[in-house]
Amino acid sequence: MVETSFFHIDDEQKLAFSQVIGGKNRRMFPGVVFLSGLKSDKEGTKAVFLSQWAEKNERDFLRFDYRGHGASSGTFEDTSITDWLDDTIRIVMGLTSGPQILVGSSLGGWISLLFARMFPQKVAGVIGISAAPDFTAQYASNKLTSDQRQELLSTGKLSFYSEYFDQPLVITKKLIEDGNKNLVLTKKQNIKCPVRLFHGSCDEDVPLSTSIDILKRISSIDVQLQIIKGIDHRFSTPDCLKLIQKAVEQVPLPY
């Protein structure tokens, strides 16, 4: 079992992480970094599965919690896309060497694209699992009900029931405004690494059109999208996990 450690951003902020350091052949293969979804953490099914795969195959692997998530410091409602991207930049640059394969689930898919755009030399490939870039755009004022607009105006946040969480999912005005400053589907993105996208046909949280938009917007010519029939947003069945593993193993070497 890989233990949890903490990466200190400053005296008050720290990120929980678990890391596998590969064996003697580690320099032959890119490392793998898992970026989790909104209000998820590094102990999710996909992250733990890849950690176990990395141990067995002696591959470098990093999983961590953004601020306001899991065992990291901070409060979810006080953080936003820019904060979580900054967390990713700091911990990936601080704890990994050489190019990395970014495996982004839902929100993590958005963060992966932002990171790949900023640091192309650090990214060997991107694997998006039910990737959810630009999800804050759905909370634009003209897309909200009058009651939701009033709630956002009076409280600075929106609350939604979600089957994934015991408590209502809170989307803050800060998250909406910050997210809408980090959109990637509004124009062509200079991302040239291999990209593999997975999307379940029964995903009720992120529309399939989002993955199609990613395919259209990024400049890479090495992009593949697989639509898996009967699978929901979790994308965590044994067969789905095997698909993710295969995609990681088949990302072309950057050397």
Residue positions annotated with a catalytic role: 106, 203, 233
Furthest-apart CA pair in the chain: how many Å? 60
* The token pair that represents 93 in the structure block: 């640059």
Give how far the C-alpha of residue 201 lies from the chain's centroid of Cα atoms, to the nearest Å: 20
Beta bridge partner(s), residue 197: 128, 225
User: Collapsing DSSP states into helix, strand and coil, what is residue 20?
Assistant: strand
State the Cα–Cα distance between residues 168 and 244, nearest whole angstrom.
30
Burial of 88 (0-12, 13-18, 19+ CB in 10 A): buried
